[in-house]
A and B are shown apart, each in its own frame.
Chain A
Amino acid sequence: MPNTNSSANETAPGVMAQAVREGLFAGVLAFGMFLLYVGIETYQNIDNALVWRTRWGLLAIFVLVAAVGRFLIVGFVKPRLDRRKLSKAKAGIPEVSDDKGFFHKNFLKLSMLALVLYPPIVVSLYGVQGSLKFVDNFGIQILIYVMLAWGLNVVVGLAGLLDLGYVAFYAVGAYSYALLSDTFGLSFWLLLPLAGILAAFWGIILGFPVLRLRGDYLAIVTLAFGEIIRLVLMNWSDVTGGTAGISGIAKASIFGIWSFDVGADNNFAKVFGLPMSSAYYKIFLFYVILALCLITAYVTIKLRSMPIGRAWEALREDEIACRSLGIDTVKTKLTAFAIGAMFGGFAGSFFAARQGFVSPESFVFLESAVILAIVVLGGMGSLTGIAIAAVVMIGGTELLREMEFLKHVFGPDFTPELYRMLLFGLAMVAVMLFKPRGFVGSREPTAFLKERKAVSGSFTKEGHG
């Protein structure tokens, strides 16, 4: 022990010198990187000509942050981390205690309870009208992403097929509902399953020719299909309304018994003699999407322990071995594609009913990227991890919209909204760097003889196709 201590002390000046060096280097690097973009601001003057002015102060802040940050990391944070790692290694691998806390053990039940009670709690805290923001922006918004990510999880997390155009199926679902309810006046409850079936159908049509492709070729073709569908929706104005989209889409009703249309006789608020508010509709939608999420989770869990789900996971691990066992890999991939697409279609028709408006704007590649990011950040294949990732990433960025107090700090010109996606991107990078396997890296086996042991993430593969 004294040996290592003295050596640590001896190397300290060396570490400091290195920290200063690296700090200076980071400062110079930051200066080079930010000089043009931060140090100089371009703007259009009154004559509409592009002119520039300097922002030396801001540039100095950027450079200082980089230099000091690097200095602190190399000089203090890293040695401490190394020391901790060393002492951990010396102490041996700590036994993972089986004695999980009450919260940990009942995590699922507790979170279910919290979700079911969420709207009444919010209403009682903020009043009916005040609850709108919380139920809609946080509740429904996050749950839509949970559902989409769980749907994509079937394709990417279980079957290991990299799909960069998942948003296409979301769009198919949304437009199916919008068009069919507009043209034929069919109800939400009829169109919801139909939208899912149509999306699954599209999944098969698009999937069939491309599933022979492997890895990154599959990724780019799915991206291409996603863009094709969006571009067609954008340009086929006669049917889809083009960039303007379709508005005035019928609301969902409570199984046709109570309606949420303001003029209707059976309006929910009217029937129960409540003050008029759009919050009731949102609360109703919250429970609808919650139910849809639960169905998605139930079906996924059930399928995982059935032959088809096992074949998906086996496909992710080794496609050739699958074929040697008599598994028709094309059919297996298609079912994964179709079922993933179906969930996307459900979510899409829900989205259309919630917004009352759809346009191609909502189905850009960025959406596919965000959904994929949630799946990977959560830990591929893990429903819990994915739900956590959706809450953190979507909830986090939604939260940013609400941070009005920042205006008092940074001045009235400051719009936190502007930084939403910037921070989202940074968070994606940061989570991947610290947890490359996502929040939940291990997988639960689907069958066991004696005891159910989680499989460590280091054994599972991520698929090649």
Chain B
Amino acid sequence: MTPGNTTMTRDTILKVEHLSMRFGGLMAINDLSLEAKRGEITALIGPNGAGKTTVFNCITGFYKPTMGMITLTQKDGDQFLLERLSDFEITKKAKVARTFQNIRLFSGLTVLENLLVAQHNKLMKASGYTIMGLLGLGSYKREADGAIELARQWLEKADLIDRADDPAGDLPYGAQRRLEIARAMCTGPELLCLDEPAAGLNPKESLALNTLLNSIRDETGTSILLIEHDMSVVMEISDHVVVLEYGQKISDGTPDHVKNDPKVIAAYLGVDDDELEEVMHEELDGGSH
């Protein structure tokens, strides 16, 4: 609860200012500033190696930034300087939850248990830090039932209710992605950070993901920050897009604005050979049919 920038308005949830991150001689992020609005889906895009995941890791505390300030403002006005908190405190106190590019589930726990682990801090308190719960005192029983109820709700939203008692490692890929999001939501976040949620999904699963993300924004009011490669997802669901290249911001605005920004087009078509090849192939494929 540190007083942050006074010019910040109530509807900005996350403000990144002059963020830099250096790994040895490599400047992965260079003086980056960006904002995310409350109740919106903000997308962070850019070619491979642009530093998107690094930005994420700085926001969620897995990396300590070399320089810069990251301010999170909660609904009730409490502010947190995220670069000063450690990773778990960012989730616990500042209420920022995240998912990972290569899914990190507790594969040996069941789907339901994954969602219960996410409610750890709430349940720890209810169980009187285990002591009361062990003696069967206090409100633990009620809270535990409540936790299962919350988990059930998210399982239904993520369309996983039929698999609730199966090990998480046994789920198909798309379901694992949805479970990871549901798990992050069970921590009760104000800001949800998603690292390439649509990677490796087939079109049907991708659609289900869009629905889930839209319902998270509309029904819970949680703001979302996401990294994405899949342009169809980005353009369809995001309210605001920030484009990175070589650790710097090259464009910022609505999806339409970004789509037509020449700098962005150059970044995607002119610089990155892989992306270019991909586009060429798509065009060739399209032409032959």
- On A, residues with C-beta under 8 Å from B are 299, 302-303, 306-308, 310-311, 313-314, 316-318, 320-329, 335, 443, 445-453, 455-456, 459-461
Contact A326 B88 (CB under 8 A): yes
Given contacts A321-B100, A449-B164, 15 further A-B contacts (CB under 8 A): A306-B140, A307-B119, A307-B124, A308-B127, A314-B117, A323-B62, A324-B88, A324-B99, A447-B113, A448-B110, A448-B164, A455-B108, A455-B110, A459-B107, A459-B169
If A307-B124, A448-B165, A459-B167 touch, whether A325 touches B118 (CB-CB below 8 Å) is yes
- CB proximity of A3 to chain B, nearest CB, Å: 36
- A contact residues around B117 at 8 Å (CB): 310-311, 314, 322, 325, 327
Contact A450 B165 (CB under 8 A): yes
Contact B120 A310 (CB under 8 A): yes
Task: Confirm or deny: B109 has a beta carbon within 8 angstroms of a beta carbon on chain A.
Answer: yes
Closest residue to A457 on the B side, CB-wise? B108
Find A313's partner among B99, B109, B148 (CB 8 Å cutoff). Answer: B109
Complex Cα distance, B169 from A326, in Å, reads 22
A-B contact pairs, 20 of them (CB 8 A): A303-B134, A306-B123, A306-B140, A308-B130, A311-B120, A317-B107, A317-B108, A318-B106, A318-B107, A324-B98, A325-B117, A325-B184, A326-B92, A335-B130, A448-B165, A449-B165, A453-B165, A455-B108, A459-B169, A461-B108
Contact B113 A324 (CB under 8 A): no
- CB proximity of B144 to chain A, nearest CB, Å: 8
- CB proximity of A332 to chain B, nearest CB, Å: 9
Q: Which of B116, B166, B167 has the most CB of A within 10 A?
A: B167
- A contact residues around B106 at 8 Å (CB): 313-314, 317-318, 321
- A contact residues around B124 at 8 Å (CB): 307-308
Task: Confirm or deny: B20 has a beta carbon within 8 angstroms of a beta carbon on chain A.
Answer: no
Find A310's partner among B105, B113, B170 (CB 8 Å cutoff). Answer: B113
If A307-B127, A449-B152 touch, whether A318 touches B104 (CB-CB below 8 Å) is yes
What total of A-B pairs shows CB separation below 8 Å?
141
Find A324's partner among B91, B152, B161, B170 (CB 8 Å cutoff). Answer: B91
Q: Which of A302, A303, A314, A461 has the most CB of B within 10 A?
A: A314
Contact B88 A328 (CB under 8 A): yes
Task: Confirm or deny: B133 has a beta carbon within 8 angstroms of a beta carbon on chain A.
Answer: yes
Complex Cα distance, B146 from A2, in Å, reads 62
Contact A307 B123 (CB under 8 A): yes
Contact A461 B97 (CB under 8 A): no
If A324-B98, A324-B100, A455-B108 touch, whether A306 touches B165 (CB-CB below 8 Å) is no
- B contact residues around A459 at 8 Å (CB): 107-108, 167-170
- B contact residues around A451 at 8 Å (CB): 165
Contact A445 B109 (CB under 8 A): yes
Q: Per-position contact with A for B81-116: 1 when CB-CB < 8 Å, else 0?
A: 000000111111000011110001111111011001
Q: Per-position contact with A for B115-145: 1 when CB-CB < 8 Å, else 0?
A: 0111111011001001001100000100000
- B contact residues around A320 at 8 Å (CB): 62, 100, 104
Task: Confirm or deny: B183 has a beta carbon within 8 angstroms of a beta carbon on chain A.
Answer: yes
Complex Cα distance, B118 from A179, in Å, reads 45
- CB proximity of B195 to chain A, nearest CB, Å: 10
Complex Cα distance, B166 from A316, in Å, reads 18
Closest residue to B180 on the A side, CB-wise? A321
Complex Cα distance, B61 from A329, in Å, reads 14
Q: Which of A302, A324, A328, A455 has the most CB of B within 10 A?
A: A324
- B contact residues around A460 at 8 Å (CB): 107-108
- CB proximity of A236 to chain B, nearest CB, Å: 35
Find B112's partner among A314, A329, A335, A449 (CB 8 Å cutoff). Answer: A449
- CB proximity of B282 to chain A, nearest CB, Å: 35
- A contact residues around B161 at 8 Å (CB): 449
Contact A446 B187 (CB under 8 A): no
- CB proximity of A46 to chain B, nearest CB, Å: 63
Task: Confirm or deny: B60 has a beta carbon within 8 angstroms of a beta carbon on chain A.
Answer: yes
Find B105's partner among A307, A316, A321 (CB 8 Å cutoff). Answer: A321
Q: Which of B90, B100, B119, B165 has the most CB of A within 10 A?
A: B165
Contact B108 A323 (CB under 8 A): no
Complex Cα distance, B109 from A453, in Å, reads 11
Which residues from 49 to 91 on chain B have a C-beta closer than 8 Å to any C-beta of chain A?
60, 62, 87-91
- A contact residues around B116 at 8 Å (CB): 307, 310, 446-447
Closest residue to B122 on the A side, CB-wise? A307
Contact A323 B170 (CB under 8 A): no
Complex Cα distance, B131 from A299, in Å, reads 11
Closest residue to A302 on the B side, CB-wise? B134
- CB proximity of A343 to chain B, nearest CB, Å: 14
Complex Cα distance, B87 from A190, in Å, reads 42
Complex Cα distance, B110 from A176, in Å, reads 41
- B contact residues around A314 at 8 Å (CB): 106, 109, 117
Complex Cα distance, B117 from A325, in Å, reads 8
Closest residue to B183 on the A side, CB-wise? A325
If A317-B108, A455-B109, A459-B107 touch, whether A299 touches B120 (CB-CB below 8 Å) is no
Complex Cα distance, B121 from A449, in Å, reads 22
Complex Cα distance, B161 from A453, in Å, reads 15
- A contact residues around B123 at 8 Å (CB): 306-307
- CB proximity of A98 to chain B, nearest CB, Å: 15
6 closest pairs, A vs B, by CB? A460-B108, A326-B91, A326-B92, A317-B106, A307-B123, A459-B169
Complex Cα distance, B155 from A447, in Å, reads 14
Closest residue to A325 on the B side, CB-wise? B118
- A contact residues around B100 at 8 Å (CB): 320-321, 324
